[in-house]
Structure 1
């Protein structure tokens, strides 16, 4: 009987953090539009939707009486694969839409604004314990949301939820679209030829989309305090 394992999502380490600029007032809210991979593209790549949900972060500041609320939109997809005795949803693709956070003259507060793909990978390595030894491999251009996006490929060591160690490739690209920053992250075992699928998924991303009640049906809101 094959052991089954799932690589956990990689998006939570990329959310709002490290902002200490002076603000004034009570509360300000920034909300991203949803970015998804349509059904047809999922079918082409054998990936299936796992969740589409909000990820809300509230951050208070000691210097002033103000709370910044950032509502991110997360969509995650996976492909069930097998490598030797390990099977499960080991190939994953995540799209995170996060708003361009700016408050008056303070300027941008969301660190994703100015982070390169390498910095995103390094942040992932620092804050997500099951991904280690992230090393840049190469770069390539991929079309996403009408733009030519530089996608950086990294090698890394990952641990599945079942405790199995797997050498993986990470593919990270980002693009500014409308009033949001859209990040696309593909993760898969190095023994699998998944890069073409990752490029297809990136190329198929749609933003903004209106999910309405679908978002609550496909995922549960996650309200986190940072």
Structure 2
């Protein structure tokens, strides 16, 4: 078999035990904290989780400098807990959902907010606002035992040392186990899938030179620097 070009290598996310987690797909949950839904002008629906997807190659690791992307003048941070799936399954019952979790990490869903808002106003998909190069920074993945059932624990974000976001995992409208059950009812979840579980209130814009730190209680923090505009 002759390939037309060399494929891109897999995205490998480091774990706290020195191994690497091969990233397959990214599912991002929207409107999963009530106050954030309100600040976006939306209503959270506990019966119908909302999600979008991203490419695996949007993942970058702790300590990275990410380029300020083209096409936007309103680049926002969103701090999130990230779930790493290691056991495949379809129609996973909620009571068995956490058996499919390898671990958890701190993460960021970086967003071209102006493009997202424009798409929302026109009732179009959010891809241009969300599925952006380097837009899914991911911290060190810790085994699930670091958080247990991930139903509580502080989630904070600072920009240049100033706190901008503070929430608690207990405030998630749809918790991790139910998210897994929901997504597996639509897709067969596979080893390597990541679930970004939503962000609390306090999202806002950054500019080149800003340093963002995301901390989830019990996990290693994630630090990202915003670089110059993408060329």
Length-normalised TM-score, structure 1: 0.30
Larger relative contact order (C-alpha < 8 A, sep ≥ 6)?
2
Higher normalized strand content (fraction of residues): 1
